[in-house]
């Protein structure tokens, strides 16, 4: 029989260390006196085999451990979670009987509301911020604790926390790790800092009826980002939140209940009807444009469903007796050797300078004026444009649709008066709450879509998609998000049920990411998110659904 004192070996920041099985990174740091909250850049979490964890995670041998400090960008989501907990605990103290809900990401912050009819006043928000600072000064420990599922359900039932009870009861795990904070009865989901005293900066910005909670700048623990109001986006997100609550879809527990009760068909139909309502209204807005110019500009980030949105809108325009024509920006690329390069030396096809903007504007003006135009056709093999043999002309009042990442950039269509344009921003904005303070971000929804589409139609593994994602996100920050405020209409292309459908495609692809893969940690995090949901069979998804662009079986040709 092996001795209980047999040592095992782990690798910590590249150095081999012998430990007793079950030793935590926290214990290792305490033993070498390397855990100082007063340091400029203290150690706050660990990455074990590429997966971020708390310092209290036990080690059993052969793990590769990287210690992560406050200024490391990988610590950012953990800092944000702890700031959320401060807000929740402060609201628990100041507003007993009411719950603070963190609904969704908003710019660089999180939009929160108090669960009551009256909006929060500026005085109350200031008091909430002050109480949060007091909790930071108290340096309360945030302790991970493992609960058996049955025990957890009993706790929620005894406290009357029915929303959390509903979420937890569909989990398929025997035990779960939650965090407890001194002086609070709440159990907190997700990785946390060792204690509240590690938080260096946060800010509450009033946005009636709630506020936007800003944590620190990524990589700069002591500074908060500038808050840039985005009223159109905020209203779209709030509108969805209120609509989802009306149909009984507040969180993952609600979605699972729809599935368990055999009501997925109803949920699919309601969600798809909501999409259809937008296209009916958008088509009418196009019809109301002057006959002298009906230019539709449609943009959105990766995997937002832009292509399907354009096709759905064109169908609805035909219902009104209009004959829309699509104009592809891809045909206006400059010759390959003239394409600008990014800092890595690769061709930057997402730059506006990669397009012949002047020629594009000349063609738009001519087409809208009813003139004949010989349109270009870009040959991606040769990297050069060819000119069509026959001219193109559109009729007076015929809608012209342009879809692309630069569609809302004023420079792209500077020659066309604003009165002749309808600008549409498309993005999957269906955030999904796990509980009142934790949610699955909309960027994760788009990432799941992209993983599935890349596997289905492009032959990419999940690891390859995850490798490309940071560059995709950088391009969105640079070329798309700065211009979203120019949109006349915001289309929320998310579907309340889609994560449960995507789960069937995404989960096995993510499970195939090997433990020594650099993207293993993110893959496991995404699997954890999917594990919160029961699956929905895709057979009930209609062929006209935007979701079909990603899972296949669409009635549209792509």
pLDDT, one tens digit per residue, over 171-228 is 877 888 888 887 777 788 888 999 999 999 999 999 999 999 999 999 999 999 999 9
Residue 438 has what pLDDT? 85
Q: What pLDDT is recorded for position 306? A: 94
**Residue 119: count of CB within 10 angstroms of its CB:** 15
Mean pLDDT in residue range 66-90: 94
Q: How far is CA 339 from CA 299, 356, 476, in A?
A: 22, 10, 19
Sheet with strand 400-403: strands edge to edge: 325-328, 400-403, 295-299, 421-427, 489-492
Q: What are the phi and psi torsion angles at 218 (to 5°)?
A: -60, 125
Q: Is the pLDDT of residue 2 over 80?
A: no
Has residue 389 got a pLDDT over 50? yes
Determine the average pLDDT of the residues in 289-312.
94
Of 5 and 263, more confident: 263
The whole-angstrom separation of Cα 278 and Cα 332 is 30
Question: Cβ distance 19 to 59 under 8 Å?
Answer: yes
- With a cut of 90, say whether residue 345 has pLDDT above it: no
Least confident of 25-34, 129-138, 539-548: 25-34
Residue 34 sits at the vertex; the CA angle it makes with 28 and 38, to the nearest 5 degrees, is: 140
Q: Are 294 and 286 within 8 A, CB to CB?
A: yes
Q: Are residues 102 and 163 in contact, defined by beta-carbon separation less than 8 angstroms? A: no
Tell me if 213 sits within 8 A of 87, measured CB to CB.
yes
User: How many whole angstroms separate alpha carbon 149 and alpha carbon 171?
Assistant: 8
Q: Average pLDDT of the chain? A: 92
Assigned token pair, 275: 């999409």
Q: Does 525 have pLDDT greater than 50?
A: yes
> 372 Cβ partners below 8 Å, 6+ apart?
366, 391, 392, 393
- The pLDDT tens digits for 434-467 are 888 888 889 999 999 999 999 999 999 999 999 9
Which pLDDT score is estimated for 4? 59
Q: How confident is the model at residue 161 (pLDDT cuts 50, 70, 90)?
A: confident
- Residue-wise pLDDT tens digits, 126-159: 999 999 999 999 999 998 888 899 998 999 899 8
What value does the mean pLDDT take over residues 401-425? Answer: 94
pLDDT at 406 over 60: yes
Q: pLDDT, tens digit, for every residue of 91-128?
A: 999 999 999 999 999 878 999 999 999 999 999 999 99
Give the closest residue to 443 by CA, choosing from 107, 35, 59: 107
Separation of alpha carbons 443 and 447, rounded Å: 6
Of the listed ranges 47-56, 443-452, 466-475, 545-554, the one predicted with least confidence: 47-56
Measured in whole angstroms, the distance separating CA 410 from the mean position of its chain's CA atoms is 26
Q: Please enumerate in sequence order all residues whose Cβ is within 8 A of that of 368, keeping only pairs 6 or more positions apart, or say none.
A: 292, 293, 295, 394, 400, 416, 420
Q: What is the mean pLDDT of residues 59-85?
A: 93
pLDDT at 49 over 60: yes
* pLDDT the model gives residue 1: 40
Percentage of the chain beyond pLDDT 90 is 76
Report H helices in 160-230. 162-168
Using the predicted structure, report yes or no on whether residue 247 has a pLDDT greater than 60. yes
Q: Which token pair is 274?
A: 């909501």
**Mean pLDDT within 393-420:** 94
**Mean pLDDT calculated for residue range 371-389:** 92
Domains and CATH numbers, the chain: 8-69 (3.10.20.30), 76-227 (3.30.980.10), 244-324+398-551 (no CATH)
Q: Mean of the pLDDT values across residues 352-380?
A: 94
């Amino acid at each position: 029989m092996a001795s209980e004192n047999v040592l095992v070996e782990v690798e910590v920041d590249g150095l081999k260390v012998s430990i007793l099985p079950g030793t935590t990174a926290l214990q290792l740091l305490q033993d070498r006196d390397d855990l100082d909250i007063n340091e400029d850049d203290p150690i706050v979490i660990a990455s074990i085999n590429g997966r971020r964890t708390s310092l209290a995670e036990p080690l059993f041998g052969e793990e590769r451990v990287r210690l992560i400090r406050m200024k490391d960008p990988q610590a950012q989501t953990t800092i944000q979670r702890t700031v959320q907990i401060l807000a929740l605990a402060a609201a628990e103290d100041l507003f007993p009987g009411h719950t603070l809900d963190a609904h969704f990401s908003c710019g660089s912050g999180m939009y929160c509301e108090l669960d009551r009819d009256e909006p929060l006043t500026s005085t109350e928000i200031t008091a909430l911020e002050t109480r949060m600072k007091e909790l930071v000064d108290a340096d309360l420990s945030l302790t991970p604790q493992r609960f058996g599922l049955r025990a957890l359900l009993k706790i929620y039932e005894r406290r009357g926390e029915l929303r959390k009870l509903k979420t937890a009861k569909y989990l398929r795990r025997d035990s779960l790790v939650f965090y407890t904070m001194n002086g609070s009865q709440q159990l907190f989901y997700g990785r946390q800092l060792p204690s509240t005293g590690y938080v260096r900066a946060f800010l509450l910005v009033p946005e009636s009826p709630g506020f936007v909670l800003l944590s620190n700048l990524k990589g700069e623990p002591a500074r908060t980002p500038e808050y840039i109001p985005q009223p159109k986006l905020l209203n779209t997100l709030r509108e969805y939140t209120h609509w989802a609550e009306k149909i009984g879809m507040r969180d993952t527990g609600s979605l699972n209940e729809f599935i368990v009760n055999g009501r997925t068909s109803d949920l699919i139909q309601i969600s798809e009807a909501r999409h259809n309502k937008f296209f009916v209204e958008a088509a009418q807005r196009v019809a109301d444009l002057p006959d002298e110019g009906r230019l539709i500009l449609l943009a959105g980030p990766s995997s937002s469903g832009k292509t399907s949105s354009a096709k759905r809108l064109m169908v609805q325009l035909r219902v009104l007796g209009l004959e829309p024509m699509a104009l592809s920006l891809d045909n206006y690329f400059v010759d390959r050797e003239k394409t600008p390069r990014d800092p890595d030396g690769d061709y930057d096809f997402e730059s506006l300078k990669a397009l012949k903007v002047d020629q594009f504007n000349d063609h738009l003006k001519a087409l809208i004026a009813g003139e004949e135009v010989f349109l270009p056709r870009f040959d991606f093999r040769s990297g050069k444009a060819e000119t069509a043999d026959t001219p193109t002309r559109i009729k007076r009042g015929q809608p012209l649709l342009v879809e692309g990442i630069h569609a809302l950039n004023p420079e792209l269509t500077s020659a066309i008066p604003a009165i002749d344009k309808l600008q549409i921003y498309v993005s999957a904005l269906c955030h999904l709450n796990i509980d009142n303070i934790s949610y699955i971000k909309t960027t994760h929804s788009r990432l799941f879509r992209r993983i599935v589409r890349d596997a289905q139609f492009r032959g990419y593994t999940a690891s390859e998609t995850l490798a490309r994602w940071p560059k995709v996100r950088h391009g969105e920050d640079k070329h798309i998000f700065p211009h979203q405020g120019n949109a006349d209409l915001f289309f929320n292309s998310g579907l309340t049920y889609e994560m449960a459908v995507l789960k069937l495609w995404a989960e096995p692809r993510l499970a195939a990411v090997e433990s020594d893969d650099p993207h293993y940690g993110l893959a496991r995090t995404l699997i954890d998110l999917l594990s919160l949901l029961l699956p929905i069979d895709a057979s009930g998804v209609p062929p006209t659904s935007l979701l079909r662009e990603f899972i296949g079986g669409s009635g549209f040709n792509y």
